[in-house]
């Protein structure tokens, strides 16, 4: 169970994961030793699984984001695993989520334009194992991006 101090640590790390322990401790109102102890516990318990850099796509890069809902013909463990293994190999797929609801997977696909997406749809997505239905929506603009 996360207490208030743990929540403050996580919030501060989401804003800046490169804070030194002293700066983190100051930001959350703990002594450096108490902060480091809590940080190590959060890491060992798997609450903090790692640290990463959030890379902003260059503004001059003209890409189109397509949100794709995929429904499989069967939802057995074997079918899910085969699909997931294959979709991980597609460079245009930036995110893939196993979902509840009407579709089995939600993908975020980055392409150059509509004709590039047509190629990805025909040559890659429709050929993924077990795909029964694909529903695509083109994003107009990003309102909120990755924040960690």
* pLDDT tens sequence across 28-47: 999 999 999 999 999 999 99
| pTM of the predicted structure, to 2 decimals | 0.66
Instruction: Identify the residue with better confidence: 127 or 57.
Output: 127
Q: Read off the pLDDT of each residue in 3-18 and give the average, rounded to a whole number.
A: 91
CA 145 to chain centre: 11
The top-scoring range by mean pLDDT among 54-58, 134-138, 142-146 is 134-138
Tell me the CB-side half-sphere exposure of residue 46, using CA atoms within 13 A.
0
pLDDT of amino acid 142: 83
The predicted model gives 104-131 an average pLDDT of 96
Do residues 117 and 66 make contact, with C-beta atoms less than 8 angstroms apart? yes
């Amino acid at each position: 169970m996360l207490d208030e101090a743990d929540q403050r640590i996580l919030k501060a790390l989401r804003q800046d994961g490169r804070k030194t322990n002293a700066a983190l401790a100051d930001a959350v109102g703990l002594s450096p030793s108490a902060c480091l102890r809590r940080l190590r516990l959060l890491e060992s318990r798997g609450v903090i699984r790692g640290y990463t850099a959030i890379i902003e796509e260059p503004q001059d890069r003209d890409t189109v984001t397509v949100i794709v809902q995929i429904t499989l013909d069967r939802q057995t463990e074997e079918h899910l695993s085969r699909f997931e293994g294959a979709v991980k190999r597609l460079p245009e797929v930036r995110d893939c989520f196993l979902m509840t609801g009407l579709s089995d997977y939600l993908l975020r696909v980055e392409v150059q334009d509509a004709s590039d997406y047509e190629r990805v749809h025909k040559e890659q997505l429709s050929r993924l194992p077990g795909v029964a239905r694909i529903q695509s929506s083109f994003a107009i603009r990003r309102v909120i991006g990755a924040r960690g």
